[in-house]
Structure 1
Amino acid sequence: MSSTWETGEGPDLVITVHPELANRRLGEQTWKARAEEFDRLVDAAACVIVLSRRFPVRKAVAGMLLGEGQVEEIARQVEIHEAAVVFVDHPLTPVQQRNLEKAWNAKVVDRTGLILEIFAARARTREGVLQVELASLNYQLGRLVRSWTHLERQRGGFGFMGGPGERQIELDRRMIKVRISALERDLEKVRRMRSTQRSGRKRKDIPTVALVGYTNAGKSTLFNRLTESGVYVADQLFATLDPTLRLLELPGGLRLMLSDTVGFVQELPHELVDAFRATLEEVIEADLILHVRDASDPMQSEQANVVHDTLHQLGVVGDDAPPVIELLNKKDRVEGLVSFHGETLISSRLAISALSGEGIDELKTLLCQWLGQEMNVLHLRLDVSDGRSLAYCHEHGVILSTHTEDEVLCLSVRMGPADAARFDCDGDVHFLKQRQH
């Protein structure tokens, strides 16, 4: 994967800076985990870290965030290591970013810019590319001043007229806003298409189950294990960006639509949450959510809180929200990890290994039980010549038993409410109603 900030052959040499502000001081373990995660994000951007530094900041400096001595220290390290980029694990204002680039004579990228870069490199589908571009443009809109340092912004004009730099910035801002409007229209079409597809699944009574979780928790590995798909899997952050849907056939003829979604991360930029809302609607509209957690990660509790907060940001809250079942993944890496079966299916917590397959049968059984709660068992009496109704029972349900009485076929069949509603009764015999157009 290449980066937009690459300056030559091979990956760039970079420095990562971790400011620790006094007003948001973290515990040592939490800070270490956050710093490691940020460095892994930089690795995912195909860069080579030559130095990673932690700086306590008593009070953020408006123009540079860091103190003067800290800025000078990084400048020396940039020169020593010939670093092309400095990644700062903290949001930077446009002014701070511009000033640091001048002081360090290197490209400066904050946390939001880094995540946007990774998303831009990983998006594959047209929808994913559109969403990343929208997020990037919204991010860049407030940073146009950085691109025009060579123009005369100091010299004003008469009345309402600005200098040539100001005119150029306004032109760029206008072009970006036009492009944003076009992208929003395209994504609205995507949203309508997804809504139509979901309506079609609901008419066919196919429930949707969405996999959610912190990035690199193993969602795509589990998705492949359950559906025998070939979704891209890698031990890296944000390996999956584009949503994937597959039909999952379960024992007893039950079936559901399984959705693999983008992983969440601490302080996921709001530009991305907004842009990916069309994709994340698969989570919002899901009938059941499987929250995949990395049980081997010491920060799994904090990661779970990030997932819950992001779901809340998406509006997946309240009585109408889909139920959530927690899956403790990577059981093969944790000794003594066992499942917990609560009084209800939703209060259960399953220990699984998507990689080795441990606990997968137990998960399928739980899904079958959940589906069974939503299913109806019909006791039908069909005319033996009514092949149409019999074929429908085989296609849309599970035949539990069958026998014949006086030219009448008696059968018990399990199917969803929408399919069950298609049958009517005339005297002692049932029949399939004509579909309404």
Structure 2
Amino acid sequence: MDIEQISGNDDPTIKGKQIHDIDTERQRAILLVLVPSTEDRVHGKSRGEELEALVETMGARPVFTLVIPLREPNSATLIGSGKVAEVKTLIDTHESDLIVFDRTISPRVQRNLEKELECCVIDRDEVILQIFADRAATKEAVLQVELARLEYSMPRLTRMWTGLSRQQGGVKGNKGEGEQQLELDRRQIKEKLVLLKDQLKKVKQQRTVQRSQRENSNIPTGAIVGYTNSGKSSLLNALSQAGVLVENKLFATLDPTTRMVKLPGGVEILLSDTVGFISDLPHDLIESFKSTLEEAKFADFLIIVCDASHPDMLGSYATTVAVLEELGCTGKPAIVMINKMDAVHDEFAVARLKSMYSTVVETSVLHAQGLDVLLDQISKTLHELCPVSFYLIPNSRYDLVAHIRRSGQILTIEYLDAGIKISARILERFQSPLVNFRLEDE
């Protein structure tokens, strides 16, 4: 297997908070991108660029990126003894103290490589966990990240105690110092997991109460979703002056922000910014952040933001759709918005995405271009969500008339001997009490 250099990045270290035993302020990272025979080099290079952005966001300094064609994965080291020797040489050459894989590696492979290379070895999952830990701000996000990290760490405990892993001393039947320490750590982590899950359950209950209050409101809700760093927070700021943190980094937003947005004509809606998606997001994080991601599940409609400057925009869009499917958001009205049209990377990808949908909104949030078209499209989506319906309410059921006033928009009302005839726009979630009184559309 040949090793192909993609880049040698020697930019100044991006300062970052120390997480666990990874001192990102001092570490120089060599990135390893493993390309199976079924994958083309272009896609491998794109994954390498994404990994470099992740490592920089974590706070380490990528000094060298390698693509390694992988034909037969080695059970002990994944990359084989010859490549381990080559990587060891590169560690000395670049004075690196961190190796980062672009894929999940097993605890066994991780331990074997750290022993061979005498260097810290982590995978893409751990990089993302580090970033989430560094950026978690609210109580819920902090608890979610800590839970995911502990679940990730459980099978890797022996990696931390390699010097104590063998039984030493003691009489027959007694456990050595290392095994005692491992069991103590496992027990402490299990106890901590139970405590975290209990705390997180209480916080989620509070979020459920807040969400139910919004669901009982007649204000339509939308969720802005998309690949990380595609411009979701910038969009919410542009539409609502929300003041959400905007950075040119991956996962700048972990906690959802909901703001009021006024559409042309004066109609008000609630829009929520959500955590960015990414391909192969660690399963523990998906599970831990499900309550945060479910802002999309409970929204009336979605705005799917695509990044025209991304080298693999279509792949990023496919990842977004896959995560939405996992959350159970299929069938929900969605507006596809292509952002950063001022910096298009692949015109074919833009044309391909536009051919998939009858209406695709092209914008540049940075330059405030296309936002009026987006607002008009949101208005059209709301009209489709709330088509005009006709009801004949018995004269004795003024409570239902009040329900329509609270939950929707009455267009016409006519008092007849047979009852109260009303035409109105009302969201589907508020129509159940009115089903028996609905007339055929006129």
TM-score of the superposed pair, with normalisation by structure 2: 0.80
- Counterpart in 1 of 2:364? 353
> Could you tell me how far 1:413 is from its partner in structure 2?
8.4
2:46 matched residue in structure 1: 33
The code of the aligned residue for 2:376 comes to: T
Match for 1:20: what amino acid?
V
Q: Residue 183 of structure 2 is aligned with which of 156, 170, 187?
A: 170
Alignment of 1:8-407 (within 5 A): 10-22=25-37, 25-154=38-167, 162-317=175-330, 321-334=331-344, 347-373=358-384, 374=386
Give, in whole Å, the separation in 1 of the partners of 2:353 and 2:23: 52
CA apart distance, 1:123? 1.0
Given that residues 253 and 398 in structure 1 are in contact (C-alpha distance below 8 angstroms), is that contact kept between their aligned partners in structure 2? no
Conserved 8 A contact 1:7-1:84: no
CA RMSD of aligned residues (A): 3.3
1:178 and 1:42 map into 2 onto residues whose CA distance is 31
Corresponding residue number in structure 2 for 1:382: none
Contact 2:167–2:175 (8 Å) recurs in 1:
no
Q: Compared with structure 1, are the counterparts of its residues 115 and 342 closer, same or farther at alpha carbon in structure 2 (3 Å cutoff)?
A: closer
The verdict on how the C-alpha distance between 1:120 and 1:38 changes in structure 2, with shifts beyond 3 A counting, is same
Change in Cα spacing, 1:169 to 1:418, as seen in structure 2 (3 Å) is: closer
Residue segments in structure 2 that go unaligned for 5+ positions in a row: 1-15, 392-400, 414-421, 435-442
Deviation at 1:3, TM superposition (A): 3.4
Question: Shift of the alpha carbon at 1:36?
Answer: 0.7
| Distance apart, 1:326 and its partner CA | 0.9
> Residue 267 of structure 1: SS of its match in structure 2?
coil
Change (3 A) 1:250 1:69: same
> Secondary structure of 1:17's match?
strand
For residues 173-215 of structure 1, give each alpha carbon's deviation from its aligned partner in whole angstroms, at most 9, with x where no partner exists: 1111111112112222222222222221122212221111111
Distance across 1 between alignment mates of 2:92 and 2:213 = 59
Amino acid at match of 2:17: S
1:58 deviation in Å? 2.0
Instruction: Return closer, same or farther for 1:341/1:333 CA change in 2, 3 Å cut-off.
Output: closer
SS of residue matched to 1:54: strand
- Tell me, yes or no, if the aligned pair for 1:214 and 1:304 is still in contact at 8 Å: yes
In 2, Cα distance between equivalents of 1:315 and 1:160 = 52
Q: Distance in 1 between matches of 2:286 and 2:136?
A: 15
Once the 2 structures are TM-superposed, how far is the Cα of residue 401 of structure 1 from its aligned partner? 10
Partners of 2:172 and 2:324 lie apart in 1 by 49
Sort the Cα spacing of 1:3 and 1:20 in 2 relative to 1 into closer, same or farther, 3 A: farther
The code of the aligned residue for 1:174 comes to R
Counterpart of 2:381 in structure 1: which amino acid? W
> In 2 relative to 1, CA 375–197 (structure 1 residues): closer, same or farther, beyond 3 Å?
farther
Residue 156 of structure 1 deviates from its aligned partner by 9.3
Q: Using the TM superposition, give the Cα deviation of residue 106 of structure 1 relative to its aligned residue in structure 2, in angstroms.
A: 1.3
1:157 Cα deviation (Å)? 7.7
- Does the 8 Å CA contact 1:219/1:292 hold for their aligned counterparts? yes
Change (3 A) 1:342 1:152: closer
Q: Quick one: distance in 2 between partners of 1:339 and 1:366?
A: 20
CA deviations 1:93-151 (Å, max 9, x no partner) are 11111111121111111111111001111111111111111110010011111111121
- Cα pair 1:132 1:275 within 8 Å, conserved: yes
* Partners of 2:123 and 2:352 in 1: CA distance: 40
- 2:156 & 2:131 partners in 1: Cα distance? 19
SS across alignment from 2:163? coil
TM superposition outliers: structure 1 runs of 4+ over 6 Å: 156-160, 335-343, 395-402, 411-415, 417-423
User: 2:148, 2:288 within 8 Å by CA — same for their partners in 1?
Assistant: yes
**Bigger mean CA offset, 254-263 vs 158-167:** 158-167
CA contact (8 A) 1:151 1:164 kept: yes
| Alpha-carbon spacing, 1:255–1:7, altered in 2? closer, same or farther (3 Å) | closer
Q: Is 2:17 the counterpart of 1:2?
A: yes
| Farther-moved stretch of structure 1 (13-22 vs 34-43) | 13-22
Q: 1:216 Cα deviation (Å)?
A: 1.1
Q: 1:101 to 1:420 in 2, by over 3 A?
A: closer
Give secondary structure in 1 for the equivalent of 2:187: helix
- Residue deviations 1:327-348 (CA, integer Å, cap 9, x gap): 11112223897999999xx852
Residues 291 and 156 of structure 1, relative CA distance in 2, 3 Å threshold? farther
After superposing the two structures, state which structure 1 stretch, 147-156 or 12-21, moved more: 147-156
